[in-house]
Amino acid sequence: MAKYKTLDEMKIKNPYEIARYSVQTVEHADYHTDVLRIVYKRKKGSFLPQSKRFRFPRVKKTAIEDSGTRKMDIRWEISPFLQKAISELDQILSTELSKKENLKIIFDEMKRLEEDARIRLDYIRSLIESM
C-alpha cells in the first residue's frame, strides 16, 4: 500500500521529486475549479515533465443566509480529494524554504511567464503578418 494514497491515485509516481506546488481558483459563473500545479526537481536531460496540472471542481453548497427572508447563499467549497492531496504534499515538503530558495522560485516562475508570453506574442505577430 502506498504511503501517499491520494497522490498515488493521481498517478504521481515520484513524490520525492516534487519541489513545490501551488493552488489557484478559477471562477466562472456556473462553476469554480481549483487548479493544482506540481513542480518537480528533475535531473538535467530528463524527458519527464517539469510540472503537472490537475483540475478539481469545487463543491457547490447552498445555505440559508437569512431565515426571515429565506435568502439563499451559495458557497463553493474545496474538493475533499484536493484537501487530502495538499495534506500529503505538505508532508513531503514539510521543510521550510529559505529566503534564497523562495527568491529562486519567484525568479524561475517569472522566467517561465516571460517565455510563455514571448511565445504567444511571436505567434500573434505571425498571424498579423500572414494577413
Q: What is the pLDDT of residues 101-122, one digit of tens each?
A: 778 888 888 998 999 999 999 9
> In terms of domains, do 106 and 89 share one?
no
Query: What is d(CA 40, CA 31) in angstroms, rounded to the nearest whole number?
Result: 29
The answer on pLDDT for 8 being more than 80 is yes
> In terms of domains, do 74 and 119 share one?
no
Query: What is d(CA 30, CA 126) in angstroms, rounded to the nearest whole number?
Result: 35
Count CB atoms within 10 A of the CB of residue 22: 13
> In terms of domains, do 85 and 117 share one?
no
- Domain boundaries, position 33: 5-95
> In terms of domains, do 75 and 126 share one?
no
> In terms of domains, do 22 and 78 share one?
yes
> In terms of domains, do 103 and 58 share one?
no
Chain mean pLDDT for the chain: 86
> In terms of domains, do 32 and 74 share one?
yes
> In terms of domains, do 87 and 25 share one?
yes
Element (H, E) at 37: strand 32-40
> In terms of domains, do 72 and 104 share one?
no
Query: What is d(CA 71, CA 64) in angstroms, rounded to the nearest whole number?
Result: 6
Hey, what amino acid is at 116? D
Q: Report the number of distinct structural domains present in the chain.
A: 2
> In terms of domains, do 65 and 30 share one?
yes
Of residues 72, 86, 78, 80, the one with CA closest to residue 32:
78
Pairing of strands 51-57, 32-40: antiparallel
> In terms of domains, do 76 and 110 share one?
no
Query: What is d(CA 41, CA 19) in angstroms, rounded to the nearest whole number?
Result: 5
- For residue 53 the three cell numbers come to 496540472
The predicted model scores a pTM of 0.64
Chain segment 13-34, per-residue pLDDT in tens: 888 889 889 999 888 777 889 9
> In terms of domains, do 91 and 101 share one?
no
